[in-house]
Amino acid sequence: MLILSRREGESIMIGDDIEVVVTRIDHDSVRLGVNAPRKLAVFRNEIYRKIQESNMASVREASGAGPVLPALPALALRPKPSVLPHPAPHSGGDPNGR
């Protein structure tokens, strides 16, 4: 691992277009600013890992016609509509959504 010493206000460059700035040092915590192309998402490591793990735990082999899911009418706050919602080209125009 490359390790660099930086003071408050100093920064490092990663490649040509990613800048990481040490904006504040405060006892045991450091505030960092990241200037990066918008297509690069920057997250705290812990939350990123958690979501990654959660995704891995949620993905499963496609079950086809026979889902092993509980039917949970008690769960649905919104009553099951006779016509199920889906992201259609035009929204229904309900101002409050529900």
Partner 1 sequence: MDAAAPSTPQPVAPPSPVPVAHETAAHASAKTRIRLPFGLIGLRHLTCFELEPITESWPFQRLRALEGANVEMVVLEPNTFLESYPIRIRDEDAEDLGIADGESALVLNIVAFHQMSPLFVTVNLAGPIVVNRVTGVGKQVIVTHSERYSVAHVLMDARQGDSGVAPGSAEPGGTQGA
Closest CB to partner 1 among residues 10, 33: 33
Q: Does 69 bind partner 1 (CB under 8 A)?
A: yes
**Beta-carbon contacts of residue 42 (< 8 Å; ≥ 6 apart):** 34, 36
Indicate whether 2 belongs to the interface with partner 1 (CB under 8 A). no
List the one residue out of 29, 35, 28, 32 whose CA is nearest residue 13.
35
The count of chain residues that interact with partner 1, using the rule CB under 8 A, is: 50
Q: Which is nearer to partner 1, 5 or 29 (CB)?
A: 29
Name the DSSP class of 40.
Answer: S
Note whether 3 binds partner 1 by CB under 8 A. no
